[in-house]
Amino acid sequence: MKYIADHDFHVHTTVSACCHDENQTPENLLKYALENGFHKVCITNHLWDEGVPSEAEWHPAHTVERLKSVLPLPTHEGARLLFGAETDIDYNGVLGISRKTLDEMDFVTVATTHLHLGGNTVREKPKTPEEAAELWLQKIRILLRMDLPFHKMGIAHLTCGHIMKGRSHEVIRLLQDEDLYEIFQACSKKGVGIELNVKTLDMTDEVRQVLMHPYHIAKDCGCKFYLGSDAHKGAALETVKAEFENVIDILDLQETDKFPLAKQG
Query: Closer to Zn ion at the Cβ: 16 or 246?
Result: 16
Number of residues that bind Zn ion (CB under 5 A): 3
CA-based nearest residue to 153, from 162, 144, 161, 164: 144
How many CB atoms lie under 10 A from the CB of residue 211? Answer: 20
Handedness of CA 150, 153, 154, 155 (dihedral sign): negative
Q: Could you tell me the smallest distance in angstroms from the CB atom of residue 69 to Zn ion? A: 18
C-alpha span between 136 and 147 (Å, rounded)? 20
Q: Could you tell me the smallest distance in angstroms from the CB atom of residue 255 to Zn ion? A: 25
Query: Closer to Zn ion at the Cβ: 198 or 221?
Result: 198
CA-based nearest residue to 108, from 135, 89, 133: 89
Helices (H), the chain: 26-36, 64-67, 99-104, 129-145, 168-174, 177-190, 205-220, 234-237, 240-251
Q: Could you tell me the smallest distance in angstroms from the CB atom of residue 63 to Zn ion? A: 17
For residue 15, state whether it binds Zn ion (rule: CB under 5 A).
no
Q: Could you tell me the smallest distance in angstroms from the CB atom of residue 192 to Zn ion? A: 16
Amino acid at 161: G
Binding letters toward Zn ion, positions 228-257, x by CB under 5 A: --x---------------------------
Query: Closer to Zn ion at the Cβ: 221 or 244?
Result: 244
For residue 106, state whether it binds Zn ion (rule: CB under 5 A).
no
For residue 148, state whether it binds Zn ion (rule: CB under 5 A).
no
Q: Could you tell me the smallest distance in angstroms from the CB atom of residue 87 to Zn ion? A: 10
How many CB atoms lie under 10 A from the CB of residue 68? Answer: 14
208 close to 251: Cβ distance less than 8 angstroms? no
Judged by CB under 5 A, the chain residues 192 through 231 that form the site for Zn ion are: 230
For residue 86, state whether it binds Zn ion (rule: CB under 5 A).
yes
CA distances from 107 to 6, 38, 103, 126 (A): 16, 16, 9, 29
Q: Pick the piece of the chain touching Zn ion (CB under 5 A) from 53-61, 66-74, 85-93, 128-136.
A: 85-93
DSSP string, 29-73: HHHHHHHHT-SEEEEEEEE--TTS--SSPPPTT-SHHHHGGGPSP
Query: Closer to Zn ion at the Cβ: 154 or 221?
Result: 154
Q: Pick the piece of the chain touching Zn ion (CB under 5 A) from 105-113, 176-184, 192-200, 256-264.
A: 105-113
User: Residues 111, 172, 198, 227: which binds Zn ion (CB under 5 A)?
Assistant: 111
Could you list the residues that contact Zn ion (CB under 5 A)? Answer: 86, 111, 230
